[in-house]
């Protein structure tokens, strides 16, 4: 499997040492080129790189649908993904498209933009009529955990899933919680699945950057196995996203917009 490699390890347990092998999750820098210019280098688990690139471009606002993409090439030898964007009918360049699409900027050096952007979040996500039962939320989280085979082997990855009200549509594991989500977003673009009336599951914490991503993607409901942060909650409130944390076993916590959850018996 490309997702992990065997590495020599000296295991110490209960006073005894054992020279053996351990399965360690793969981490690889992948550089995304956009219209032949270097855009970003992501440290990731090197599978589903077409999905990673598409999802990253969508989450960052460079594209809105798969039709924005003219060409995508994955070069596993050079650890590169090259994407060419369509020039729109009005002859809009990739850079202009980016400026038009991108409403929220976050990340290193983006402090000021980050805060201006919070005020420009959309008032409501696309699917405000979305509803899902509590028992279904718990079942989906359970299913994601069962599919987390790389995590079971290595203990070193995050999971993400896109679900409809019934089942997991796309599932992915990656060393980065943002990468994992970008990959399932990319897969939804490849397969032409709308994510605006879906549920996003993640093993990672619901921090500000994560909730800004969810808001940009206009996903109405996100469930995490992990904790939220204060700023994550604030962004979920402003974007009217239903934000659920500590989803595990027979429990979860709803931090914002509980109206989308139907509390049925388990």
Q: Residues interacting with a copy of itself, by CB under 8 A?
A: 4-5, 7-15, 17, 22, 24-29, 31, 38-41, 43, 107-112, 114-115, 134, 154-156, 175, 205, 207-209, 226-233, 246, 250-255, 258, 261, 263, 265-266
Which CB sits closer to a copy of itself, 9 or 124?
Answer: 9
Which CB sits closer to a copy of itself, 29 or 88?
Answer: 29
Which CB sits closer to a copy of itself, 26 or 202?
Answer: 26
Residue 209 CB, nearest approach to a copy of itself (Å): 7
Which CB sits closer to a copy of itself, 58 or 158?
Answer: 158
Q: How far apart are CA 179 and CA 223, in angstroms?
A: 17
Residue 173 CB, nearest approach to a copy of itself (Å): 12
Q: How far apart are CA 251 and CA 203, in angstroms?
A: 15
Query: From its phi and psi, is residue 186 left (phi > 0), alpha (psi between -120 and 50) or beta?
Result: alpha
Tokens representing residue 37 in the block: 């210019």
Residue 177 CB, nearest approach to a copy of itself (Å): 11
Evaluate the CA torsion angle 193, 196, 198, 200 in order and state its sign: positive
Residue 175 CB, nearest approach to a copy of itself (Å): 6
Helix (H) or strand (E) holding 180: helix 177-190
Say whether 26 sits in a helix, a strand or coil. coil
Which CB sits closer to a copy of itself, 144 or 236?
Answer: 236
Residue 155 CB, nearest approach to a copy of itself (Å): 4
Which CB sits closer to a copy of itself, 141 or 217?
Answer: 141
Which CB sits closer to a copy of itself, 12 or 120?
Answer: 12
| Strand bridging mode 28-34 / 16-25 | unpaired
Q: How far apart are CA 110 and CA 61, in angstroms?
A: 15
Residue 62 CB, nearest approach to a copy of itself (Å): 14
Residue 55 CB, nearest approach to a copy of itself (Å): 16
| Strand bridging mode 221-224 / 199-202 | parallel
Q: How far apart are CA 102 and CA 131, in angstroms?
A: 28
CA distances from 149 to 88, 164, 171 (A): 41, 22, 11
Q: How far apart are CA 215 and CA 96, in angstroms?
A: 22
């Amino acid at each position: 499997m490309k997702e992990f490699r065997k590495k020599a390890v000296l295991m110490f347990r209960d006073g005894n040492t054992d020279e053996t092998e351990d399965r360690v999750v793969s981490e690889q820098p992948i550089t995304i080129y956009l219209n032949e210019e270097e855009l970003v280098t992501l440290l990731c688990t090197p599978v589903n790189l077409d999905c990673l690139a598409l999802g990253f471009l969508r989450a960052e606002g460079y594209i809105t649908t798969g039709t924005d993409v003219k060409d995508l090439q994955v070069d596993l030898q050079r650890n590169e993904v090259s994407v060419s964007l369509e020039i729109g009918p009005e002859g809009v360049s990739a850079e202009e498209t980016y400026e038009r699409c991108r409403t929220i900027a976050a990340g290193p050096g983006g402090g000021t933009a980050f805060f201006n952007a919070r005020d420009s979040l959309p008032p409501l996500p696309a699917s405000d009529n979305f509803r899902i039962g509590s028992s279904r939320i718990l079942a989906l989280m359970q299913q994601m955990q069962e599919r987390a085979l790389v995590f079971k082997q290595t203990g070193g990855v995050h999971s993400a899933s896109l679900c409809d009200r019934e089942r997991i549509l796309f599932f992915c594991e990656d060393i980065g919680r943002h990468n994992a989500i970008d990959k399932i977003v990319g897969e939804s673009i490849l397969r032409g699945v709308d994510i605006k009336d879906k549920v996003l599951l993640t093993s990672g914490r619901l921090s500000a950057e994560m909730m800004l991503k969810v808001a940009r993607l206009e996903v109405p409901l996100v469930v995490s196995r992990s904790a939220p942060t204060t700023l994550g909650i604030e962004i979920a409130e402003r974007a009217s996203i239903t934000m659920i944390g500590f989803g595990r076993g027979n429990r979860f916590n709803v931090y914002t917009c509980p109206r989308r959850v139907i509390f049925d018996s388990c």
